[in-house]
Amino acid sequence: MNQLAQLGRGALGKLAAFGRSGIILGHVLVAKPQPRTMLPLLLQQIYFVGVLSLIIIVVSGLFIGMVLGLQGYTILVDYGSEQAVGQMVALSLVRELAPVVTALLFAGRAGSALTAEIGLMKATEQLSSLEMIGVDPLRRIIAPRFWAGFYCLPVLAAIFSVVGVYGGALVGVDWLGIYEGSFWANMQHSVDFFDDVLNGLFKAVVFGFVVTWIAVFQGYDCIPTSEGISQATTRTVVLSSLAVLALDFVLTALMFGDF
C-alpha cells in the first residue's frame, strides 16, 4: 500500500513538473516581441549555443561521413555497386543521422550548459534578483536561450549533413577511387529535396524545440544546490536523448512509413 502511495506521489510529481514546463513554454511562446532588447540577447545566445557548437558538429559530421563512406564501400563493392556509396551516405545523413546525431551532440554540449547556467543563476539568486528589479526572467533569460536553441539546431544539422557528405566523398572518391561523376550523379538523382532534405530539416526543428525546452526547464526548475544542478544537468542529457530517439521513430514512421 505504501509503495502504491509512493508510486502515485511520484506520478503526480512528474505530472506537476510537466505542467510547470508547459507554463514556462507558454510564457516564452506568447511573450510580446521586443526586438530592441531581445535581439542582442538572442544574438549573444546564438553565439554561445550555436557558434560554439560548430567544432563538435563539424568534426563529428566529417568522421561520421567518412565512416559511412568506408562501410558503404566495403559492402557495396562486393556487389559491384560502389557508385551507390554517394547515394547511401547522403540519404543516411540527410534523413536520419544529421538531425539525430546533431540533436544528441547538441543536448550534450549546449543543452547541459544551458541547464547548468540557468540552475547556477537560480542558486546564486540572480533570477530572484532580476524579478525584484522588475524584469521577468522568463523573458530575459529563458526566452532568448530557448529561441537560440530552436533556431540553431536545424542550421547545425544542415552543416552536419554537408560536412558528412564531404567526408563520404573524401573517403569514397579521393581515397577508395570511386568514379567521381557517378558518386555525385547517383546522389543528386536519389536525394529528393522535399522528401529527404525538408523532412530531415523538419526533424531537426522538432528536436531543437524539444531539446531546448527540456534544457531551459530543467535549469529553471532545478533544486538550487550543487547537487540539484548536477541532477538537473544529467536529466537534461538523458531526457533529451530519449526524447530525440523516440521522436525520431515517430517522425520517421509518419514521413516514410507506407501505411
Q: Within 10 Å of residue 21's Cβ, how many Cβ atoms? A: 17
Give residues 24-63 in contact with other proteins (rule: CB under 8 A).
37
State the sign of the Cα–Cα–Cα–Cα dihedral 214, 54, 157, 34. positive
Question: How is residue 50 annotated by DSSP?
Answer: T
Sorted by sequence, the CB contacts under 8 Å of residue 196 that are 6+ apart come out as: 91, 94, 95
**Which stretch, 3-11, 13-21, 56-64, 129-137, contacts other proteins (CB under 8 A)?**
129-137
Give residues 208-227 in contact with other proteins (rule: CB under 8 A).
none
Sorted by sequence, the CB contacts under 8 Å of residue 254 that are 6+ apart come out as: none
- Measured CA angle at 113 (ends 232, 234), to 5 deg: 30
> C-alpha grid cell for residue 126?
540572480
Interface residue with other proteins, options 5, 134, 227, 258 (CB under 8 A):
134
Nearest approach in angstroms of CB 79 to other proteins is 57
Q: Does 129 bind other proteins (CB under 8 A)?
A: yes
**Which stretch, 55-63, 122-130, 166-174, 231-239, contacts other proteins (CB under 8 A)?**
122-130
> C-alpha grid cell for residue 6?
509512493
Q: Does 124 bind other proteins (CB under 8 A)?
A: yes
The footprint of other proteins on this chain (CB under 8 A) covers a number of residues equal to: 12
Nearest approach in angstroms of CB 197 to other proteins is 38
Q: Kindly list the residues in this chain that would bind other proteins in the complex (CB under 8 A).
A: 37, 124-126, 128-129, 131-136
